[in-house]
Amino acid sequence: MIALVRLRLAGFLRTGRALAPVLAGLVALGVLYGGGRAQPAEAYGVSAAVLFPVLAWQTKVLLDVEPDGQRRLARVVAGVRAEEVAGLLAAGVAALGTVAVALVFPWLVGGVTGPVEPGDRPVVIGVALGAWAHLLVVPAAVALGALASRASTGSAGYGVAVLALGGVGAVVLGLSGSVVPWLAPPVMATARAVAGDLTLPTGALLTGWAAAWSAVALVGYSWRRRSRP
Amino acid sequence: MRLENVWLRYRRRGPWVLRGTQARIGPGEVVVVLGRNGAGKSTLLQVAAGVLRPVRGRVAERPGRVGWVPERFPADQPFTVQRYLTAMARVAGLDAPAAGRAVADWTSRLGLSAFRAVRLPELSKGTAQKVGLAQAMLRPPGLLVLDEPWEGLDAGARELVPAVIDEVLATGGSVLVSDHRGETVRLPGARHWTVADGTVTEEAPSAAAAMAVVEVAVPAARVAGAVARLRAEGHHVLRVRPGDPPAEPASTGPGQPDTDPALPGLGQPGADPAPGPGQPGTNPVVPGPGGPLGSAPASSGPAPGGAPEPAPAAGVAAEGGPATGASR
């Protein structure tokens, strides 16, 4: 399976199609950090929310760049389950790369600052919370991108629709006062939590919520793939 | 491997492509899948290979190692032939040294050596098809599924497919192959499945199907002896005709490695990839699907068994069963 993950990552990086989502992410981060300096946890929380649709798009591109015939060959050679999981793992690795860039980026452009007032979180804690917020977003974004991929939807139009609905839905349904926030991954809730007084039970709840949402979405992806090799 | 009551359709409430298909293929057997366009041949092959999952029914006892050659090799990938095949060998579970050996072996045998550094999108259709064949053989398959494998291959390269099939059969593997060009006459011992209206039926083997026609060029002075030997071995000599004049050798420049003599490496020491039937000094063999020498010019020579006229070479058409191994 590792060989298939490497093959798909190589295909993704060599086609140049990886550039589009990466550039979009950098632009979004540039806009985000261009307005002034913020505490790390607060900045990273928003960064994670902004990156959610970017990472989902990146996943869709990674999975779509492989021709359908090659995906089916991989299914025969590696096995059905291994083929599906390898695609998700490759997308996850690519997403972690983008997250690493997102964590470093604000320090390069002076978008974050250390503690200013008494009671501000230390930088290390802020960075750790920021990393946690981004890692919470990765599986949900990979799952959404997989659902939007050509292998799942069968057409480019449906894929874009799934991606757009998922990205917008995560923001709209995640707003404060939403009636059905659990329909979306907790990207907005996480951003609010790390900007405020995050408690351990809240952190555990958000982690469980993200894991459950991702699991349901991935089951849906696997179910779709049953009839779409 | 057995297909047990396999039903398949591509979407809910769509038409059934396969309906209650029952079929079985055993070790060492080759099955040719026939049917009109859109009948479901490729669907059946993909179910057998494990690409498609039946909506109902099941595929039982599928070998663990399956090689699948799709009708169109997906060449739109940013890899060279060498890198792609090495990666596929690793995906198939070979370690790095074994993958390197397998890739070197099959690129050489299939005449792909000159293309190792070429990117897949730059390959011709036939060469890409060879890459597809190579990826299926990197790990010796227990089941080889070939979907129109002759598509895009030139005359010399078409001989590669039966040679590869023979190699799989020799190791106890099974082979499923579809064809709509009549190339499967190169597989005279194959069973025939016909796909029509969602069902698969097997043609009963006939005496004619169990026979193949072989053209053998021999020096004219030795025709009588050759005919006598063939008859003594139980073959049915159909007729003897004068040999065709030698053809000018085709000019192949260094930029045309498609004509690499790959066949000798496939374990067919008597075979030559380039020559056509009737060339003196070679042993070309041509299968005759619909009757003996159906495409050959009318013979001006004597009836079988008659004394041949003096000529530089003469063609002898003999009929024999698949066990003679003279179908190519």
**DSSP string covering B15-63, please?**
PPSEEEEEEE--TT-EEEEE--TTSSHHHHHHHHHTSSPPSEEEEES--
Q: Which residue of B has its CA nearest to A69?
A: B74
Residue B51 to residue A78, Cβ atoms within 8 A: no
Residue B92 to residue A226, Cβ atoms within 8 A: no
Question: Hey, how many other C-beta atoms are within 10 angstroms of the C-beta on B190?
Answer: 22
Q: Express as a percent the part of chain B with pLDDT over 90.
A: 46
B49, B66, B91 ranked by CB distance to A74: nearest: B91
A4, A11, A226 ranked by CB distance to B77: nearest: A11
Instruction: Report, as an integer, the average pLDDT of A63-85.
Output: 95
User: Which residues, in sequence order, are CB contacts of A79 under 8 Å at separation 6+?
Assistant: none
Please list every residue in chain A whose beta carbon sits closer than 8 Å to the beta carbon of residue B135: 73, 77
B50, B55, B74 ranked by CB distance to A70: nearest: B74
CA distance A60 to chain B (A): 17
Is residue A54 within 8 A of residue A98, CB to CB? The reply is: yes
User: Which residues, in sequence order, are CB contacts of A19 under 8 Å at separation 6+?
Assistant: none
Q: What is the interface pTM, i.e. ipTM, of the complex?
A: 0.88
Please list every residue in chain A whose beta carbon sits closer than 8 Å to the beta carbon of residue B92: 77-78
Cα–Cα nearest to A148, from A75, A49, A52: A52
CA gap B272, B18 in Å, rounded: 41
Q: Which residue of B has its CA nearest to A65?
A: B77
Q: Give the rounded distance of the alpha carbon of B194 from its chain centre.
A: 18
Q: SS3 for B152?
A: coil
Those residues of chain A whose CB sits closer than 8 Å to some CB in chain B are: 3-4, 6-7, 10-11, 14-15, 66-70, 72-78, 80, 226-227, 229
Q: Would you state the pLDDT for residue B316?
A: 66
What pLDDT digit, counting tens, does each position of B247-290 carry? 554 444 443 444 444 444 443 333 333 333 334 333 434 443 33
What pLDDT digit, counting tens, does each position of B146-204 carry? 999 888 888 878 888 888 999 999 999 999 999 877 777 777 778 889 998 888 888 77
From the CA atom positions of chain B, what is the Rg in Å? 22
Q: Would you state the pLDDT for residue B108?
A: 94
Q: What is the residue type of A51? A: L
Q: Would you state the pLDDT for residue B221?
A: 85
CA gap B103, B317 in Å, rounded: 39
- Residue burial A176-185, b: 16+ Cβ < 10 Å; e: rest: eeeeebeebb
Residue B224 predicted with pLDDT over 50: yes
Residue in A5, A17, A70, A71 to test binding to B, most B beta-carbons within 10 Å: A70
**Which of A4-13, B10-19, B85-94, B319-328 is least confident?**
B319-328
Give the CA-trace dihedral at B225, B230, B232, B235, to 10 degrees: -160
Please list every residue in chain A whose beta carbon sits closer than 8 Å to the beta carbon of residue B68: 72-73, 76
Please list every residue in chain B whose beta carbon sits closer than 8 Å to the beta carbon of residue A76: 49-51, 66-68
Residue B326 predicted with pLDDT over 60: no
**First vs last Cα of chain B: how many Å apart?**
28
Residue B58 predicted with pLDDT over 80: yes
Give the CA-trace dihedral at B123, B124, B129, B135, to 10 degrees: -10
Q: What number of C-beta contacts closer than 8 Å exist between A and B?
A: 67
Instruction: Report, as an integer, the average pLDDT of A87-115.
Output: 92
Cα–Cα nearest to B134, from A71, A81, A77, A4: A77
Residue A76 to residue B52, Cβ atoms within 8 A: no
For the packed helices A187-195 and A156-172, what is the interaxial angle rounded to 10 degrees?
A: 30
- A45: enclosing H helix or E strand: helix A40-64
Is residue A12 within 8 A of residue A62, CB to CB? The reply is: yes
Residue A15 to residue B74, Cβ atoms within 8 A: no
**Which of A116-120, A133-137, B308-312 is least confident?**
B308-312
Residue A15 predicted with pLDDT over 80: yes
Q: Give the rounded distance of the alpha carbon of B123 from its chain centre.
A: 21
Q: Would you state the pLDDT for residue B230?
A: 86
Please list every residue in chain B whose beta carbon sits closer than 8 Å to the beta carbon of residue A152: none
Please list every residue in chain B whose beta carbon sits closer than 8 Å to the beta carbon of residue A226: 53
CA gap B208, B231 in Å, rounded: 18
Q: Would you state the pLDDT for residue B258?
A: 42
**Which of A58-67, B185-194, B292-301 is least confident?**
B292-301
Q: Would you state the pLDDT for residue B250?
A: 46
CA gap A44, A121 in Å, rounded: 13
Those residues of chain B whose CB sits closer than 8 Å to some CB in chain A are: 10-11, 46, 49-53, 55, 66-68, 70, 72-74, 76-79, 87-88, 90-92, 135, 139
Q: Which residue of A has its CA nearest to B12?
A: A227
- The strand pair at B30-34 and B174-178 is best described as parallel
Using pLDDT thresholds of 50, 70 and 90, give the confidence band for residue B314: low
Please list every residue in chain A whose beta carbon sits closer than 8 Å to the beta carbon of residue B52: 229
Please list every residue in chain B whose beta carbon sits closer than 8 Å to the beta carbon of residue A18: none
Instruction: Report, as an integer, the average pLDDT of B297-307.
Output: 39
**Which of B56-70, B238-252, B300-314 is least confident?**
B300-314
B55, B70, B78 ranked by CB distance to A73: nearest: B70
Instruction: Report, as an integer, the average pLDDT of B219-237.
Output: 84
Residue B110 predicted with pLDDT over 60: yes
Whole-number average pLDDT of chain B: 77
B55, B87, B135 ranked by CB distance to A3: nearest: B87
